[in-house]
């Protein structure tokens, strides 16, 4: 759907993923559109949340969760790439719609994890609140600096999907495991740390870019 800003994506899988996405986008038939891929991303993430809610003790539902996450990756990762490859970017529209879809999708996924019984609702709420705070800071930083950071400490959306898929497999075979509670606590703490680091980095960069006027300049004014 295009970019209104510079994207900074330095996750572990980013380089290989970027090459794969471009190769896939060039081969998609004309009837596949960026809007259609965005809708696929939304529907599949909601589906992943619903499947996860039924996953504990059910390997078949874990497989459905993983399939839904894979479809989400396909739609969410390819919609912007397809627009760039076809030179039909819509920067503001794409940025807005993509991230509204992401917010709704992640909320549905975490709600499903909390409803599964394998993750305490308070842990799910902590993860969701931390994610939404990081997202809000990221959007503000993008507006202020013109750079949109997709990943932090080598972890981006694709890596997070893989972690959720692993968690689904775990609770499918061991529904009594508290892995999700532990992972949720670690995830919420990591997101909080990412928020603090990003906010400090952005504030410092903006402070350098917009220094206070010198005292003599203020007097002259």
Establish if 218 belongs to a structural domain: no
pLDDT of res. 217: 56
Average pLDDT value over all residues in the chain: 91
pLDDT of res. 2: 43
- What is the rounded CA–CA span in Å between residue 195 and residue 106? 17
Establish if 194 belongs to a structural domain: yes
The pLDDT-based confidence of 10 (bands split at 50, 70, 90) is confident
pLDDT tens digit sequence for 81-93? 999 999 998 989 9
Establish if 1 belongs to a structural domain: no
- The alpha-helical segments, DSSP class H, found in the chain are 14-27, 34-53, 59-86, 91-115, 121-145, 157-173, 179-209, 215-220
Establish if 188 belongs to a structural domain: yes
Establish if 220 belongs to a structural domain: no
pLDDT tens digit sequence for 180-211? 999 999 999 999 999 999 999 999 999 999 98
Domain count within the chain: 1
| Domain CATH for 29 | 1.20.120.1760
Establish if 102 belongs to a structural domain: yes
pLDDT of res. 219: 59
Whether the CB-CB separation of 65 and 116 falls below 8 Å is answered with: no
Nearest CA to 192 among 151, 131, 119, 125?
A: 131
Helix or strand (DSSP H, E) at 166: helix 157-173
Range of the domain at 75: 6-210
pLDDT tens digit sequence for 103-144? 999 999 999 999 999 999 999 999 999 999 999 999 999 999
Q: Which are the contacts of 199, defined by CB distance < 8 A and separation ≥ 6?
A: 137, 141
Whether the CB-CB separation of 185 and 123 falls below 8 Å is answered with: yes
Q: How many CA atoms lie within 13 A of 154 on its CB side?
A: 1
Q: Is 112 helix (H, G, I), strand (E, B) or coil?
A: helix
* pTM for the structure as a whole: 0.88
Helix or strand (DSSP H, E) at 204: helix 179-209
Whether the CB-CB separation of 121 and 110 falls below 8 Å is answered with: no
pLDDT of res. 9: 75
Establish if 219 belongs to a structural domain: no
E-assigned strands of the chain?
A: 6-8, 147-149
pLDDT of res. 215: 64
Whether the CB-CB separation of 117 and 179 falls below 8 Å is answered with: no
């Amino acid at each position: 759907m295009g970019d209104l800003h510079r994207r900074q994506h330095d996750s572990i899988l980013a380089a290989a993923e970027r090459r794969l996405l471009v190769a896939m986008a060039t081969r998609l038939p004309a009837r596949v559109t960026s809007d259609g891929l965005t809708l696929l991303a939304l529907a599949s993430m909601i589906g992943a949340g619903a499947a996860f809610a039924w996953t504990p003790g059910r390997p078949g539902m874990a497989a459905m969760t993983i399939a839904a996450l894979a479809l989400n990756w396909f739609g969410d990762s390819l919609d912007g790439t397809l627009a760039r490859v076809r030179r039909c970017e819509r920067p503001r529209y794409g940025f807005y719609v993509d991230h509204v879809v992401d917010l709704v999708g992640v909320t549905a996924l975490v709600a499903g994890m909390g409803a599964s019984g394998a993750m305490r609702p308070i842990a799910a709420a902590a993860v969701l609140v931390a994610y939404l705070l990081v997202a809000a800071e990221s959007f503000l930083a993008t507006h202020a600096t013109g750079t949109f950071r997709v990943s932090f400490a080598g972890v981006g959306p694709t890596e997070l999907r893989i972690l959720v898929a692993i968690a689904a497999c775990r609770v499918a075979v061991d529904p009594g495991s508290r892995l999700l509670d532990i992972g949720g606590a670690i995830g919420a703490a990591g997101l909080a740390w990412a928020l603090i680091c990003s906010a400090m980095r952005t504030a410092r960069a903006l402070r350098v870019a917009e220094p206070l006027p010198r005292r003599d300049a203020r007097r002259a004014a």
